[in-house]
């Protein structure tokens, strides 16, 4: 089985940190993160980034946890990631995953 996923952005190294550029047609992803916090900013929250790199370990995807430091439009400045020029397939607040796990266990 083969699944084709369209990247929603790209990861770039930026000094000691990394930047995630979310493509304009996927800016709704950022708005969804904002609405989940109930705040106008998500800075300081941990995020999970699903990305595809050219790793030679046999894994097609990687999931990285990092801290969102700053948002400027569709550019997210995050803590250091072991990724550069990787395609971003999804990004979520870490609390979204924890909420989902709690709901599944409580079911």
Q: Is residue 3 part of a domain?
A: no
Q: Is residue 94 part of a domain?
A: yes
Which CATH number do you get for residue 89? 2.40.30.70
Q: Is residue 1 part of a domain?
A: no
Count of domains observed in the chain? 1
pLDDT value at 38 more than 50: yes
Contact between 89 and 51 under an 8 Å Cβ cutoff? The reply is yes
Q: What average pLDDT does the segment 9-23 reach?
A: 95
The 3-class secondary structure across 41-89, one letter per residue, is CCCCCEEEEEEECCCCCCCCCEEEEEEEEEEECCEEEECCCCCCCCEEE
The rounded distance, in Å, linking the Cα atoms of 7 and 70 is 21
Q: Is residue 2 part of a domain?
A: no
pLDDT digits (tens, 9 = 90+) for 17-27: 999 999 999 99
Q: Report which of residues 92 and 38 the model is more confident about.
A: 92
Q: Is residue 46 part of a domain?
A: yes
- Specify the pTM: 0.79
Domain that holds residue 46: 9-106
pLDDT digits (tens, 9 = 90+) for 75-107: 999 999 988 889 999 999 887 655 444 444 555
């Amino acid at each position: 089985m083969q699944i084709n996923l369209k990247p929603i952005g790209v990861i770039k190294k930026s000094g000691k940190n990394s930047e995630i550029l979310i493509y304009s047609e996927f800016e709704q992803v950022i708005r969804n993160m904002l609405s989940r916090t109930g705040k106008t900013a998500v800075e300081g929250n941990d995020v999970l980034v699903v990305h595809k790199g050219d790793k030679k370990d046999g894994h097609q995807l990687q999931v990285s946890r990092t801290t969102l430091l700053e948002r400027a439009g569709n550019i997210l400045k995050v803590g250091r990631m072991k990724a550069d020029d990787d395609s971003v397939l999804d990004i979520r607040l870490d609390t979204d995953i924890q909420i989902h796990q709690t709901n599944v266990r409580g079911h």
